[in-house]
Structure 1
Amino acid sequence: MSVITTPDGTNIAIHRMGAGRPVLMLHGLFSSAAMNWMKFGHAKLLADNGFECIMPDWRVHGDSDAPTDAALYTPGVLVRDALHIVETLKLTDYDLVGFSLGARTATSAVIAGLTPRRLVLGGMGIEGLSNWQVRSAFFVDMIDQFDEIERGDPAFMAKSFMKGQGIDPVAARLLLTKGVEDIEIAQLSRITMPTLVLIGDDDRDNGSPEKLRDALPDATMAVVPGNHMGSVAKPDMGRAILEFLS
């Protein structure tokens, strides 16, 4: 593991695996590089087939800093972190993969100027790009009601996952409420590289993947088994990413 320090002083952990064509892999909310990409073998599969997996932990997640200063959370902070990582590592010819929050951030980062050869958007539908306040409200409420949530509550699984990942609730709430901004659907026309919309067959947590595919200039869609939490835990996801990037 290495560390990249952002301009606001936040240390971002960077995990690497393999040697070859760089692929920047962005994990989902309350997860980590280890959980999304390494635990279930996706990074190893890519590394075994000629890719170098570069896997940051977002601020608040994994081995990265989780600052609780509200001034360090302004709209687009994760996008700026992604741009800083690409600039610091001098990535020019690379691929970009994101899952859930990582896919959302990858979309914004490409609109902001990143130019990967190929782009994979996992666990994402078009509504998940443009209604962040609605999507994030569930998690903010879960944090606010954290101590009262018991087994059987719809938020219990999210609470358990967040707790198991060691997420600081204060930092997480700041990120959810201040650090993420909506994406204008009209801006999707700027994403011109070949793009794979990768979705679980029982995953509509972020809306319609079909509408997202259709809104992108050069996109295809692949369906793998599982719901939003489960699809990333199955080898089918890694195989679909490898097939598209190869």
Structure 2
Amino acid sequence: MTITTDQFASFDGTRLAIHTEGEGRPVLLLHGLFSSAQMNWIKWGHGARLAAAGFKAIMLDFRVHGQSEAPREASAYPPGVLVRDVAALAEHLGLEPGGFDLVGFSLGARTAIHAVGYGILEPRRLAICGMGVAGLSDWERRADHFKRVIDEFDTIKPGDPAYTARTFLKSQGVDRVAARLLLDAMDDFDLARLAAITMPTAVICGDEDQDNGSAEELAALLSDARYIEVPGTHLNSVTKPDLGEALARFLAA
């Protein structure tokens, strides 16, 4: 199917790219850190799978990522900036509460949980991928890992635990100055807010993925959630068809 790419002005005027594939009920898809809609959803065919299942896959490039702008001014990164961007996208598209589904992988999953947990978005169904409890409640520690990748970018060598993230960051051409500012705009999630997430939810995670803690534990903390295991690690689970197939089955139910 044809993929169309457009831009819209977010709440502060930053231009963000959105890629759309298919027709039907809207599904917002949010990608992971240092990645993009192309890398997480388009390249491996997940957007196409959702389109074939009768959905309209709307795939955002977060600011600093993909084809979206990457401002270098600290003022462009207020607290909760990514949640505000997604809320601006929903407003731009005219999405009504309960009239769309929401999917996030890793950073996108954190962003989705923040948006729903704090009552900013109300999707019909929610799919959280590559995320566990630690990735929500202990974000500061996780963020410190990525800040080190940026701060010590030129000195990290093979064998260093940060080398894989450094290699991925380099391959995606992410602006490191802007990425550092973005990381400072995120904070831990109050797990008590999970009680506000009441819509049917799928917590989907690779069978070798523990990067963000236990996905099964996260599913158990939600009132209407199921845990779905797919093959892969945090880095490669998104490259396998199983993820998109699990999303299509869950959202079509």
Structure 1 residue 132 displacement after superposition? 1.2
> Of residues 157, 171, 177 in structure 1, which corresponds to 2:178?
171
**Partner AA of 1:190 in structure 2:** A
In the alignment, the residues of structure 1 paired with residue 216 and residue 227 of structure 2 have an alpha-carbon distance, to the nearest angstrom, of: 7
Q: How far apart are the structure 1 equivalents of 2:153 and 2:236?
A: 23
Q: CA deviation at 1:127?
A: 1.2
CA distance in 2, matches of 1:48, 1:193: 24
Give the equivalent residue in structure 2 for 1:105: 111
Q: Which consecutive aligned stretches of 4+ in structure 1 deviate over 6 angstroms post-superposition? A: none
Instruction: Name the SS of the counterpart of 2:19 in structure 1.
Output: strand
| Structure 1 residue 34 corresponds to structure 2 residue 38 | yes
Matches within 5 A, 1:141-220: 141-177=148-184, 179-220=185-226
CA distance in 2, matches of 1:230, 1:202: 10
Q: Is the 8 A contact 2:118 2:196 kept in 1?
A: no
Deviation at 1:134, TM superposition (A): 0.3
Aligned residue for 2:139? 132
After TM superposition, the score normalised by the length of structure 2 is 0.95
Alignment of 1:47-126 (within 5 A): 47-92=51-96, 93-113=99-119, 114-126=121-133
Query: What root-mean-square deviation, in Å, do the aligned CA atoms of Structure 1 and Structure 2 show?
Result: 0.8
When the two structures are superposed, what TM-score results if normalisation uses the length of structure 1?
0.98
Displacement of 1:112 in angstroms is 2.9
How many residues align structurally? 245
Which residue identity lines up with residue 160 of structure 2 in the other structure? D
Code of the residue aligned with 1:99 in structure 2: it is F
1:122-158 CA-to-partner distances (Å, cap 9, x unmatched) read 0000111111110011110111110111222221111
Paired with 1:194 and 1:57, the residues of 2 have a C-alpha distance of 25
| Contact 2:203 2:228 survives alignment (8 Å) | yes
Kept in 1: contact 2:11–2:84 (CA 8 A) = no
Find the residue that maps to 1:217 and give its secondary structure: coil
Match of 1:21 in 2: 25
Distance 1:36 1:142 in 2: 21
SS of structure 2 residue aligned to 1:65: coil
